[in-house]
Amino acid sequence: MRVAGRGFNRSARAVTFTFDGQSYTGRAGDTLAAALLANDVRHVARSFKYHRPRGVLTAGSEEPNALVTVGVGPKQDPNIRATTLEIYDGLAARSQNAWPSLKHDAMAINDLLSPFLSAGFYYKTFMWPKSFWEKLYEPVIRHAAGLGALSGETNQDTYEKAFAHCDVLIIGAGPAGIMAAVTAAKAGADVILTDEGTAFGGRLLCETYDVNGRAGEEWAAQQLAGLSNKENVRIMTRTTVTGAYDQGTFAALETVGSRNPHAPKECFWRIVAKRSILCAGALERPIAFPNNDRPGIMLASAVRSYLNRFGVAPGEAVTIFANNDDAHRTALDLIDAGVTVACVIDSRTDAVALGDYRLVAGGHVIATKGRHGLTSITVRDASGTHDIQTDCLAMSGGWNPTVHLTCHMNARPTWSDDILSFVPTDGSIPNMLVAGAARGVFSTLGCLADGIVAAQDTIRELGLTAPQIDTPTAEDSVYRIEPLWQVDGKGRKWLDFQNDVHVKDIALAVQENFRSVEHMKRYTTQGMATDQGKNSNVVALAVLADATGRGIPETGTTTFRPPYVPVAIAAMGAVSQGHGFAPERHTTSHKATLDRGAPMMEAGLWYRPSYFPKPHETTWLEACNREVAMVRNHVGICDVSTLGKIDIAGPDAAAFLDFVYCNTFSTLKENRVRYGLMLREDGHVMDDGTTARLGANHYVMTTTTAAAGQVMKHLDWVSQALRPDLDVRVASVTEQWAQFAVAGPKARDLLNSVLDRPIDDENWPFMSCGPIDIEGVQGRLFRISFSGEHAYEIVVPSRYGASLFRLLTAQAEAMDGGPYGMEALNVLRIEKGFITHGEIHGRVTASDIGFGRMVSQKKDCIGNAMSQRPGLLDPEREQLVGLKPVEITGKLTAGAHLFVDGADAVSENDQGYVTSVCYSPTLGHDIAQAFLKDGPNRHGDHILLVDHLRDVQTLCEVCHPVFFDPTGGLARG
C-alpha cells in the first residue's frame, strides 16, 4: 500500500502497466516490484523446483524470487528482475514457471512430492533402466527445466557496445563511491563513476539519515550535480559492472531501452582503467527458519527501501525478526511513517528496543502461515510459544560485503569475525582498492571517510597530488550482531529461494560425502540460480560448516564468477545479430564487392567474395567456371589482403627466419621472394607462405589467412623465449596494407596500364619484389603466383585499397577479365597443386606434402629434430597425391576415404582421405587432393573413393597433385 508523504517520486505522474493481464497504476520511477507491492500484489512468482508461491524478497539486483517475463513474440524477454525493472506506460509483464496460472499451478504437485525429490535425487533416479534416458527422462527434464522462456522468434531489439578508458573507475555510487569520485576528480584524474541504480546515493536513497545536515538523497543529488559539471568525470547510472578481467579491463552493462524506445535496449561497455575503487556496498542476508519463503516475508532492508524510496509499505502490520541492531531501524522508519509494527523479534537476549515498539528479546520465529501470502507467525521465546498476526515479516541475518568482483580473478575473500561475513582479500584484483561497506565498514560516516582515503591512495599511485577533503558529518553507529544462521523447528528452512535449496539438503550432501563447498554447491544447486547465491551463500556455508564440524573460514566459499548480474548474449554480441558473435573483418574492397552482388563467405574472421555473378548465371558453378577460364585466358583480380603480413627487421632478422622456417632465408637476395615452410615444435607443419627481403635487415612475411594470428603469436614466443639473443623486431602489418593478386596471360599488360613505370621480365623476373608507384602512391609489387598463371601481387597502403581495386577491375574488364572470388581461387590452386590449411591441417609433416627436402639439415630450426623421428618418415604414412575419376563423369567429394578396389570400406582397410575437391573447367572433370598411404609410389594405380555420408563411390586414378602446367612455365614465363 502507498504511504502518504513518503517516497522520492511521490509527486510523479501515474504510469499504467499490466501484470498477468491485470491492469495496475504506479508512479514514474517505481520499479515493477514497488508498483506491485503498492497495489497489494504479494504473490508474484513460483520457485524453480517445487513451484512454491514466492513474493518479493529484496529491492535490488540480488532478487531471487520476483522474476518476470516482459513483452511478447520477438520482444519476449524472460527472467527480468521486478526489483530493477522500471515501469513505463504500456509495460506488459507476466509471471513465469507456472501453468495454467500463477495462483493455480499444476506443477505445484512437486511440493507435495518433495520427500521424493530431495537434493541429488536425479543422480540416482534417472540411471535405470538405461534405455529410458533418451526416450523418457531427458525429454521430461528438458521440458520442466528453466524459469522463463524465449519465444523462439528472431530478436528485433537493438543493442550497442562501447569502449571507455579512464584513470580511475569507481564501482558503486553510495557514500563511499561519491566521496571517492569527488576526491579523484578534484585531483584532476579522469574518472568514471558507475552505479546499477537509477540514481546515485546507494543506501542513502533508502534510509532517513542526514549527511552534512541534509537528507541523504539530497546530499547525493548535490554531489552528483557537482560531478556532472566536470569535464574529467563520466557519470553512468543504470550501469552494472559485471566482471573484472586482466590489464584493468572491466565489463559493464548499461540498461537504456525502457526509457527511450528509439535507443538501444542495452549497451555493453568494455572499460579499461588504470586504477579502480570498488564501492559496491553490502547485501543483507536472510535467516533460515521454518517456511521462511512465503510471500510477504522480505529482508528488513528491502522493507525500508520500499518505504523510504518509493513510499510503499509491504504490509499493514509488519513484524521484524533479526539478530542485529540495524534491522531495528526498519521498525523506527515504519512507525515514523504511521505503519503498524506488530513486533520486533531479536534473537539476542540482551537486545534493547530503540523506539516505542514491542520487543521480544531472545526470540525466534519457528513457523509461518499463509499459502499465497503471509497471515501469521509463531514465535518461541523464554516464556514459550505464541502466534502473531502479521502480513509482512522483515528478516535480517546481517550484512555481507559485496565481494564478488574481487573474486573474478580466482582470489578468495577472508572471513571477518567482527561482522560475521567475508571481506575482500587485499590485492585480489591488481590496482583495485575496496572502500565502504564492500569491505565491512557499515556506518555512513565510516563509508564517507573510507571513500576519501581509498581515492587519495589511488591518486598517489597515479603520480598525482592527493587533495585534502573534509569528511561530511553523518551517523556513525556501531554494527552489533551475533551469529544466527538457522532456527530449529518443523518445516523446511529455505536457503536458496530460487533453486529451492533448504537446510536438510546441505545435511544430505554431507551425509553423501559431498563435504567440500564446491561439491555441496553442485550436489544441491545452491547458489547456481540467476542471483548466483548473493542472498544464500554465507548462510549456506555456515550451515555446511555446522554439519561438518568445521569453522566457516575452514569451510571456505564457492567461486564467484562473472557476470555479477545476468547479461543477455545479444548485449555481449551487440551489433552482431544475424551475423554471429565472432568479430567481422572486412577488406578495403568490401563495399565494391557487395556492389557487384558477390555473396560473402567467412575465411577466418574475414569476409571474402565467394564469386562475382553475372545476370545470366543461375548457379555459383557457372560463375566459378567463368572466372577460372577468365584467369587462364585473360586476367583476373583477387583481393588477398586477408593474408597475414608480418614485418621482420633487425640485424639478426635473417638468422631469425632461418630458425623459424625449415628452409634457409639468410641466402635470399634483396628484392627477392622465397616460399617457406614453418614447423611446429613437434615436427608437424604449422603454416606456409612467402617471405620477401625488402632490405638488408628488413623482411616481410606472408602467412595464410587462417594462421596469421597463430604465426604472429609463435614469432613473438620464439623471439622472447627461444631466441632472445637475436636482435630482431616483429610487427603485424596485415591491416596496414591492401594486397591484390593480378593473374593471367595479360597480367603484365594490365599492370603496365596503371603503374607509373612499366615492368618486364628482365627487370621483374619470377619471385622478385620491389617498390612501385601508382599515380604517385608508393606501393610494393611481388611477382608470385597462387594460380599457376603469370601473376603478381600488388600492395598499397590500406587507405588506397578501395580505389585501386576499382581501377584494377575496370582495366581487367577492358581486357575481357575481371574480379574472381574464393571459389575460383580454390579451383586454380587445386589445378596447380598448391596446398592450404585443408592439407596442412595439423597432422601432416613436410614429407607428407612432398616437401621433405625443404627441411634443411645444414642448420637448426624449430621442429627439425622432431620431424626426423622414424614414425614421421615412414613411407607407409599417408602422403599427398592427386586424384581424378577413371570415368570422366565420376563424382569426387572432400572428406571421403580411400580403399583398395574390392576391399570392404571399413576403417581397418582405410588407405587415406580426400582433403580438397573441385570441378576443373580446364580439364573438364572433378579433381582432388588427397593423402594416401605410400602415395607417391602409387601414381597410376586405381583407388576407390567412398563417402558413406553422401552415398558416393567413385573409382579414381592416383596421380601427381599438380594437374596444370607441371613444369611451371606459365608462372615463370
Whole-number pLDDT of residue 261? 67
Among 476, 417, 391, 430, smallest CA distance to 278 is for 430
Alpha-carbon distance of 421 to 234, in angstroms, equals: 33
- How far is residue 785's CA from residue 791's CA, in Å, rounded to a whole number? 5
* pLDDT computed for residue 135 by the predictor: 74
Report which of 508, 532, 536, 534 is spatially closest to residue 520, judged by C-alpha positions.
508
pLDDT at 258: 59
Distance CA 450, CA 457 (A): 11
DSSP string, 834-902: ---TTTSSSS--TTTTT-GGGS-SSS--TTHHHHT-HHHH-TTSEEEEEEEESSTT----TT-EEE-TT
* CATH code linked to domain 159-283+401-461: 3.50.50.60
Alpha-carbon span 6 to 356, nearest angstrom: 20
Q: Which residues contact 564 (CB under 8 A, 6 or more apart)?
A: 61, 240, 241, 242, 243, 404, 405, 532
Whole-structure pTM value: 0.77
Give the mean pLDDT per block of 10 residues along the chain (973 residues).
Answer: 87 94 94 96 92 95 94 89 93 92 89 75 71 76 75 85 96 96 96 94 93 94 93 95 95 80 87 97 96 96 96 96 96 96 96 94 96 95 94 97 94 94 94 96 96 97 93 94 94 91 91 88 84 87 92 88 90 79 88 96 92 95 97 98 97 97 96 96 96 97 94 97 96 97 97 95 94 95 95 97 97 97 97 95 95 91 93 92 97 97 95 97 97 96 97 97 94 87
State CA 410 to chain mean position distance.
17
Instruction: Return the biggest CA–CA distance within the chain.
Output: 111
- Asked if 795 contacts 769 with a C-beta cutoff of 8 angstroms, the reply is no
Report how far residue 134's alpha carbon sits from residue 744's, in angstroms, rounded to the nearest whole number.
Answer: 58
Distance (Å, whole) CA 850 – CA 834: 11
Strands (DSSP E) found in 90-202? 91-94, 159-171, 191-194
DSSP 682-705: TSSEEEEEEEEEEETTEEEEEE-T
Residue 801 CA to its chain's centroid (Å)? 33
CATH number for the 14-125 domain, one of 3.90.660.10, 3.60.130.10, 3.10.20.440, 3.30.70.100?
3.10.20.440
Peptide bond into 129 cis (omega under 30): yes
Q: Which of 33, 571, 573 is nearest to 254 (CA)?
A: 571
Q: Tell me the three state secondary structure of residue 460.
A: helix
Residue type, 550: R
Q: Name 684's Cβ contacts closer than 8 Å, sequence gap at least 6.
A: 842, 843, 844, 845, 863, 867
> What 3-state DSSP class applies to 781?
strand
Helices (H), 514-557: 517-524, 537-548, 552-555
Contact by Cβ (8 Å): 347, 395: no
Question: Do residues 932 and 941 make contact, with C-beta atoms less than 8 angstroms apart?
Answer: no
Fold of 286-397: FAD/NAD(P)-binding domain (3.50.50)
- The dihedrals phi and psi of 657, each to the nearest 5 degrees, come to -65, -40
Q: How many residues does the chain have?
A: 973
Segments making up each domain of the chain, as ranges: 14-125, 159-283+401-461, 286-397, 491-550, 876-973
Q: Which helix (H) or strand (E) holds 336?
A: helix 328-336
Closest by CA to 326, choosing from 400, 391, 389, is 400
Q: Which of 504, 42, 624 is nearest to 314 (CA)?
A: 42
Q: Would you state the CATH architecture of domain 876-973?
A: Beta Barrel (2.40)
* Identical fold between 286-397 and 876-973: no
- Phi/psi-derived region of residue 575, left when phi > 0, alpha when psi is between -120 and 50, beta in every other case: left
The pLDDT value recorded for residue 257 is 63
What pLDDT is attached to residue 259?
Answer: 56
pLDDT at 894: 96
- Interacting residues of 143 by C-beta distance below 8 A, sequence separation 6+: none
